[in-house]
Amino acid sequence: MVIANILGIFTFLYLLWRTLKDDYHYEKIFNLAATVLLGFVLGLAVSTYFDNYYWFWIEGFGILVAFLIVIKKQKMKFFESFEGLTIGLVTWISFVFLGDSVTKSSLSSFLAFWVCLICIFIFFFIKSFYRGIIWYKSGRIGFAGLLTAIIFFLIRAAGSLFYTNTISFVGRTDTYLSGTVALFLFLLLYGLGKNNEK
């Protein structure tokens, strides 16, 4: 799992840089990445000390708080930055699922790994043509990241109904948590599509 996390972190850093390098100076991207990793470490410490069962959500909350703080401080656009964060984190957790499937011979983790790969494919596929979608009038950056995150959490919500013992799942409770996050992301996507401001 240590190797999986190391590979995931390096891939996360690369994809975050690749997504944002045309819009922001490398120093801002580095600060964003470093702060997000700090949020992850703090979330990891809290989840290890208090309740390791909810590690996915605690670490995710730490990452989100760190992300929101740094983009506000550096005056970075939310949707553009969120897109880099999404593809980076989905790739990172795919390594975690793959590592768990290998070390524990877990079928559910292997299936979760493939779900992440499908989400990664969807992200890059949508990224290449989203401006041509007729109903997406605003054409603003962020569509691919939000839709990928929605799909990820919807599949996670459905999967938690059948694979309650999968790593990072918190039983049936995950259905409500993931469903709530997916709904909130959908509202953000709807607002992004209605906003004609380029």
Q: What angle do CA 12, 80, 17 make, to 5 degrees?
A: 35
- Measured CA to CA, the distance from residue 29 to residue 25 in angstroms comes to 7
The pLDDT assigned to 198 comes to 42
Asked if residue 41 belongs to a domain, the reply is no
Q: Is residue 106 part of a domain?
A: yes
State the Cα–Cα distance between residues 188 and 98, nearest whole angstrom: 30
Structure tokens at 170: 């918190």
From residue 30, alpha-carbon distances to 6, 17, 63, 187 in Å are 17, 8, 15, 29
How many separate domains does the chain show? 1
pLDDT digits (tens, 9 = 90+) for 9-26: 999 999 999 999 988 889
Percent of the chain surpassing pLDDT 70: 90
Residue 118 lies in a domain: yes
What whole-number distance in Å separates Cα of residue 13 and Cα of residue 126?
21
Q: What residues contact residue 6 under an 8 Å CB cut-off, 6+ apart?
A: none
Taken in order 27, 32, 37, 41, is the CA torsion positive or negative?
Answer: positive
- Mean pLDDT (whole number) for 38-52: 88
Asked if residue 163 has pLDDT above 80, the reply is no
Does 146 map to a domain? yes
